[in-house]
């Protein structure tokens, strides 16, 4: 019987295999940031261990770095200590660090691909659940906890139970690809399969709706695999993948010979078997807006807030969850999504802060001003994205519309730095999680695409971006 792409990558990385036990899997790339690594380095010191392969390990600082003027000192002392600790750990253990002043600094899942560190067919881990992003390149990319970060630092391997392969086919063509985006595709998937729908699996996204996407759009899809509970998500590499990585700063010297072998090997065989399958038809999908406190609580922009009964389909626990979510979000069933007013707009995060995201959002706002009661910010995913956007004049478009134009980092996706919502504030956000308090205690998050966030900034409430001129 044939094999899936995931199984091929898995098998080519098994170091030790035992019956009915986890396998020891080799890690090709280990990405590190300031929040989930300090305790791992402490563990190494305590046991007098070294980093086995500093040459396969790359660090940056993204989660709690301020996104205002970088020449100013970091006011939050605990953040400053965490950042200094990463600097010291990288120095002590010989790890390459893109620090706050590096032109390569940025969100770890934005810089990996941008620098050519992310490669097809590899295993990539990071102490961050959105590591699934790198799966867009046909890599097996897993988010791990801090104990596993320490384990990889010490041994360059991980004990893993083999997840099962899950095929998600995305069929058809979007009618208006500028208004209905990759974010809307992945939110639709999570809306259907739920936040636990992918538990224990590695999703392979397939079909015309996926191969049509650019690499940056594919990253948005794979990024949110974890929001469906999946261990990872991936997409088979093709010419778009190979072209994207060619000639980047850390792309390997023998890249072309690697590409030749990837072309032959990195695909799911026609007779391979998936344990689980789901099909999404995208010809008629609408822009999506989340209304609740997990990413599965999402509906079309043309819909109204569902009643807990309608949402839960008879499941009493889900009903309770929906009631609680609506209370937290201060929303009532039957309210049209387009009637929901917003206070804040956040365009950023490892889901949607790449150059294409900023280009698309800028088309919506060009020549307009944001609604007077809205505060809006753009936080580019990396310093390189910021520079490229500035070279195109996108910063001017945003600033002229009264957006704040920031330095790179995770920022208000998780509010570890000073960029947070105040209690009760409602935000149209291009990030990945609408959990209670995620963007600030008491803050209310609605997940949307960059163009939907930009449109909401202009109008002051959600609006179907398909009605706007994006030419």
Residues 311 to 330: which contact another protein by CB under 8 A? Answer: 317-318, 320-321, 324
Ranges within 152-171 binding another protein (CB under 8 A): 154-157, 159, 161, 163
Query: How many of the chain's residues bind another protein (CB under 8 A)?
Result: 85
Site string for another protein, 95-124 (x = CB under 8 A): -x--------------------x-x-xx--
Task: Output 278 or 328, the one with its CB closest to another protein.
Answer: 328
Binding flags for another protein, 26-45, as an x/- string (CB under 8 A): x-xx-----xx-xx--xx--
256 class by beta-carbon count within 10 Å (0-12 exposed, 13-18 middle, 19+ buried)? exposed
Q: What is the distance between the alpha carbons of residues 410 and 36, in angstroms, rounded to a whole number?
A: 14
Write out the binding residues for another protein, residues 76-95 only, by CB under 8 A. 76, 78-79, 81-82, 85
Instruction: Please identify, using beta-carbon distances, which residue of 209 and 321 lies nearer to another protein.
Output: 321
Compute the least distance from the CB of residue 103 to another protein, in Å.
17
Interacting stretch for another protein, rule CB under 8 A, among 73-81, 169-177, 280-288, 378-386? 73-81
180 neighbors 169 (Cβ within 8 angstroms): no
Query: In whole angstroms, how close is the CB of 70 to another protein at the nearest point?
Result: 19
Residue 148 has phi, psi (to 5 degrees) of -70, -30
- Does the footprint of another protein cover residue 49 (CB under 8 A)? yes
Query: Is 148 a binder of another protein (CB under 8 A)?
Result: yes
Q: Does 150 bind another protein (CB under 8 A)?
A: yes
Q: Does 60 bind another protein (CB under 8 A)?
A: no
- Of 49 and 240, nearer to another protein (C-beta) is 49
Q: Which is nearer to another protein, 29 or 466 (CB)?
A: 29
- Does 140 interact with another protein (rule: CB under 8 A)? no
Build a one-symbol-per-residue string for 249-288: x at contacts with another protein by CB under 8 A, - elsewhere: -x-xxx---x--x---------------------------
**Which residues in the 385-424 window bind another protein by CB under 8 A?**
414-416, 423
For residues 131 and 172, what is the distance between their CA atoms, to the nearest angstrom?
28
Candidate ranges 12-20, 172-180, 330-338, 384-392; the one touching another protein (CB under 8 A):
12-20
Q: Does 368 bind another protein (CB under 8 A)?
A: no
Q: 34 or 356: whose CB is closer to another protein?
A: 34
Figure out which of the listed residues 45, 75, 147, 369 binds another protein, where binding follows CB under 8 A: 147
Output 442 or 460, the one with its CB closest to another protein. Answer: 442
Binding part of the chain for another protein, among 20-28, 168-176, 339-347, 368-376 by CB under 8 A, reads: 20-28
Q: Which of residues 191-230 bind another protein (CB under 8 A)?
A: 195-196, 199-200, 226-227, 229
């Amino acid at each position: 019987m044939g094999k899936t792409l995931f199984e091929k990558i898995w098998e080519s990385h098994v170091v030790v295999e035992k019956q009915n036990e986890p396998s020891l899997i080799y890690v090709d790339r280990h990405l590190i940031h300031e929040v989930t690594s300090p305790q791992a380095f402490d563990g190494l010191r305590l046991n007098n261990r070294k980093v086995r392969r500093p040459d396969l390990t790359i660090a940056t600082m993204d989660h709690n770095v301020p996104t205002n003027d970088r020449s100013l000192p970091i006011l939050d002392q605990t953040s400053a200590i965490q950042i200094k600790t990463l600097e010291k750990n990288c120095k002590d253990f010989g790890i390459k660090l893109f620090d706050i002043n590096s032109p390569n600094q940025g969100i770890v899942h934005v810089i990996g691909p941008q620098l050519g560190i992310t490669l097809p067919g590899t295993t990539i881990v990071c102490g961050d659940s959105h590591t699934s992003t790198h799966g867009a390149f046909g890599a097996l990319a897993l988010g791990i906890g801090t104990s596993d970060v320490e384990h990889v630092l010490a041994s360059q391997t991980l004990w893993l139970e083999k997840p099962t392969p899950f095929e998600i086919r995305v069929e058809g063509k979007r009618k208006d690809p500028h208004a209905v985006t990759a974010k809307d595709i992945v939110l639709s998937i999570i809306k259907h399969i739920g936040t636990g729908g992918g538990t224990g699996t590695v999703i392979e996204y397939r079909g015309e709706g996926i191969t049509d996407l650019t690499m940056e759009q594919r990253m948005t899809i794979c990024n949110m695999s974890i929001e469906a509970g999946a261990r990872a998500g991936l997409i088979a590499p093709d010419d778009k993948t190979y072209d994207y990585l060619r000639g980047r700063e850390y792309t390997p010297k023998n890249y072309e010979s690697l590409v030749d072998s990837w072309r032959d090997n990195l695909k799911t065989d026609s007779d391979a078997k998936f344990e689980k399958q789901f099909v999404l038809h995208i010809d008629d999908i609408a822009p999506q807006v989340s209304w609740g406190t997990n990413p599965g609580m999402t509906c079309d922009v043309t819909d109204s807030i569902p009643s807990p009964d309608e949402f839960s389909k008879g499941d009493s626990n889900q009903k309770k969850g929906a009631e609680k979510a609506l209370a937290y979000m201060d929303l009532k069933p039957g309210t049209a999504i387009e009637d929901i007013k917003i206070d804040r707009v956040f365009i950023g995060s490892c889901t949607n802060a790449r150059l294409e995201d900023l280009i698309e959002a800028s088309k919506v706002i060009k020549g307009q001003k944001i609604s007077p009661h809205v505060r809006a910010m753009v936080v580019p995913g990396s310093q390189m994205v910021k520079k490229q956007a500035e070279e195109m004049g996108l910063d001017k478009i945003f600033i002229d519309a009264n957006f704040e134009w920031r330095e790179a980092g995770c920022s208000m996706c998780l509010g570890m730095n000073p960029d947070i919502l105040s209690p009760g504030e409602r935000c149209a956000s291009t990030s990945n999680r609408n959990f209670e308090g995620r963007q600030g205690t008491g803050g209310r998050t609605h997940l949307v695409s960059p163009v939907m966030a930009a449109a909401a900034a202009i109008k002051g409430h959600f609006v179907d971006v398909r009605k706007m001129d994006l030419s």
